[in-house]
Amino acid sequence: MDKAKENRAQGVLKRISGPVVTAVGLDAHMYDVVKVGNEELMGEVIKIQGENIIIQVYEDTDGIRPGEPVENTGLSLAVELGPGLLTSIYDGIQRPLEVLVDKMGNFIERGVSAPGLSHEKKWEFVPTVKAGDEVKAGDILGTVQETNIVHKVMVPPRSKGGKVKEIAAGSFTVDDTICVLEDGTEIAMLQRWPVRVPRPMKEKLNPDVPLITGQRILDGLFPIAKGGTAAIPGPFGSGKTVTQQQLAKWSDAEIVVYIGCGERGNEMTEVLTEFPELEDPKSGKPLMERTVLIANTSNMPVAAREASVYTGVTIAEYFRDMGYDVSLMADSTSRWAEAMREISSRLEEMPGEEGYPAYLAARLSEFYERAGRTISLNGAAGSVSVIGAVSPPGGDFSEPVTQNTLRIVKVFWALDAKLSQRRHFPAINWLNSYSLYLDSLNDWYDQEVSPEWNPLRAWAMGVLQKEAELQEIVQLVGSDALPDEEQVTIEVARMIREIFLQQNAYDAVDTFCPMSKQYDMMKAIKHYADLARTAQAGGATPQQVISVRSKNELPQIKFIKDYEPALEKILKDMEAEFDAMRAA
């Protein structure tokens, strides 16, 4: 009986059609990981149809023939979690790319497996519990200094827990037992977790703390909360990638998970070469020390691209459970959706809109729902903020991926090709973007920045909105035809755009703008607007007000690190000029 059962773990291939193959004579469950063909390519069961087991293969299937063996591992697609994740660069199924270079050279060949974590490297484990303590699933047993980040070693989420029998400090590999419970359960640092299942937690918290990114248009006008979700749609060439990289570099999350999903090889290389060189503004250590990169470029196997997003979010959740704030970038979810479409079409499934599978919306919402600020099983508060890029074909926002994404996410940063053509960077359109977190973040800005900030932001948005209306008139009749007051409004709006909104990612200082500086800059612009209004009330002409020279110095503030003295001087000059105007 047992023997017959054993044999069913091995089947044969019946049909091969690109990345989708069919096997027969195999016992399998949905999402079991299987080894396909003589070369044991990695695959995953995605459909069961009577005797036919349909498998998506994570590697190239060229030359594979019907009749070759298929073996079921009985496991689902899982990632290895433990010390060693940080600084790693993985492909979509958590194979370390660096190890792959050593194993198979500069090109990605198939049939090579590599574990996600090093199983040889020893880590210094320091226990935080002692023998006799009661531990339950998710509890922290001890720590490992992984990089400058402290890796917290936890009891696996599905463990029963119990009383600690033995635990000791020492040097261990991820497989070594670090803790034995009374009931004999041995716990190692390594955990495996199936990528398609969200990791459990105690509760989700409200998003009331912003994720500070140092990007003025984001923090200032359209903030995302820690644990929130945002989408960056953008036609190609609108600076989407640069914006995402800026977020990865500067957001105040402790851990960054960056998924390059179906994107360009050279661009990934830019990330791969830049991140290790970048300095983390807080620790002074390389940014890479708190980063996990997943790079599945557009020409790497499509099924692995489908998996890459899950691999990334599972790693993010793992760090969240330790109590860290994690920001996850997925660039681009459209490529992920396309991978689903491609596989769905190979399965000959009934297509939904534009050939995408009918379950597209469900998959997208499942993914974004894995974001959140949470209390983990051990009581620590952490968060996963998800920032997904969408690449709408032809810049058409009505297409299914963008639409289904917008129904879920709370923040929308509308990149605009027109702005980037004008070299207005970041090319985020201030009229079409929105953040639904503004209300829940109000208190934070009141306390941490200034009670004046929220009204100031509302004022700036009002001016920009007004400008848009006025521009329509200007287009028709020219700017001279506007009332005096509105001519100044246009000037103030221009200042908000050019001084506050435009930000140079390549300038050493301007690339990150702290909230306090954002506040000072906006206040300075408002100050000019107020002075101008008073001057106009006193009879000054728009030309007089607009030609105030000192305000032209304001943009320089962006590029000065210790900007306060310079700003003070400009404000003083400005007041002097207005005083002179009044005197005249």
- Binding residues are 234-241
Q: In the numeric block, which tokens belong to residue 144?
A: 């490992």
| Interaction of residue 403 with another protein, rule CB under 8 A | no
Of 122-130, 348-356, 379-387, 439-447, which segment contacts another protein by CB under 8 A?
348-356
| Interaction of residue 75 with another protein, rule CB under 8 A | no
- What Cα–Cα distance (Å) separates residue 547 from each residue in 276, 435, 486, 551, 552? 46, 35, 15, 9, 9
Of 120-128, 260-268, 427-435, 514-522, which segment contacts another protein by CB under 8 A?
260-268
| Interaction of residue 423 with another protein, rule CB under 8 A | yes
Residue at token pair 């930000």 = 503
Contact assessment for residue 52 and residue 14, using Cβ atoms and an 8 Å cutoff: yes
Residues 550-569 that bind another protein (CB under 8 A): 552, 555
Residues of each annotated binding site for ATP: 234-241
Instruction: Collect all residues with Cβ–Cβ distance below 8 Å to 349 and sequence separation of at least 6.
Output: 357, 358
Contact assessment for residue 287 and residue 87, using Cβ atoms and an 8 Å cutoff: no
Contact assessment for residue 102 and residue 340, using Cβ atoms and an 8 Å cutoff: no
Cβ-based nearer residue to another protein, 27 or 60: 60
Q: 263-291 burial by CB neighbour count: b if 16+ within 10 A, else e?
A: beeebbeebbeebeeeebeeeeebbbbbb
The contact pattern for another protein, residues 122-141, with x = CB under 8 A and - = no contact, is: --------------------
- What Cα–Cα distance (Å) separates residue 552 from each residue in 18, 546, 567, 572? 60, 10, 12, 14
Of 155-163, 171-179, 298-306, 442-450, which segment contacts another protein by CB under 8 A?
298-306
Of 185-193, 250-258, 270-278, 381-389, which segment contacts another protein by CB under 8 A?
270-278
The contact pattern for another protein, residues 24-53, with x = CB under 8 A and - = no contact, is: ------------------------------
Residues 49-68 that bind another protein (CB under 8 A): 60-68
| Interaction of residue 402 with another protein, rule CB under 8 A | no
Cβ-based nearer residue to another protein, 88 or 374: 88
E strand or H helix at 277: helix 265-277
Give min distance, CB of 400 to another protein, in A.
11
Give min distance, CB of 347 to another protein, in A.
10
- What Cα–Cα distance (Å) separates residue 40 from each residue in 95, 144, 210, 308, 481? 15, 35, 46, 20, 75
Residue at token pair 């402790």 = 254
Residues 448-477 that bind another protein (CB under 8 A): 475-477
| Interaction of residue 285 with another protein, rule CB under 8 A | no
| Interaction of residue 369 with another protein, rule CB under 8 A | no
Give min distance, CB of 322 to another protein, in A.
27
Q: In the numeric block, which tokens belong to residue 510?
A: 């301007």
Give min distance, CB of 109 to another protein, in A.
6
Residue at token pair 């009332």 = 483
Contact assessment for residue 44 and residue 56, using Cβ atoms and an 8 Å cutoff: yes
Q: How many other C-beta atoms lie within 10 A of the C-beta of residue 436?
A: 16
Instruction: Collect all residues with Cβ–Cβ distance below 8 Å to 547 and sequence separation of at least 6.
Output: none
* Length reported for the chain: 584
Give min distance, CB of 105 to another protein, in A.
8
Among 262, 382, 388, 542, binds another protein (CB under 8 A): 262
| Interaction of residue 183 with another protein, rule CB under 8 A | no
Q: How many other C-beta atoms lie within 10 A of the C-beta of residue 177?
A: 13
- Using CB under 8 A, count the residues that bind another protein: 74
Cβ-based nearer residue to another protein, 84 or 227: 84
Q: State how far the Cα of 358 lies from the Cα of 341, in Å rounded to an integer.
A: 10
Among 97, 189, 218, 515, binds another protein (CB under 8 A): 97
3-state DSSP assignment of residue 401: helix
Cβ-based nearer residue to another protein, 177 or 421: 421
Of 170-178, 234-242, 509-517, 538-546, which segment contacts another protein by CB under 8 A?
234-242
Among 391, 429, 487, 489, binds another protein (CB under 8 A): 391
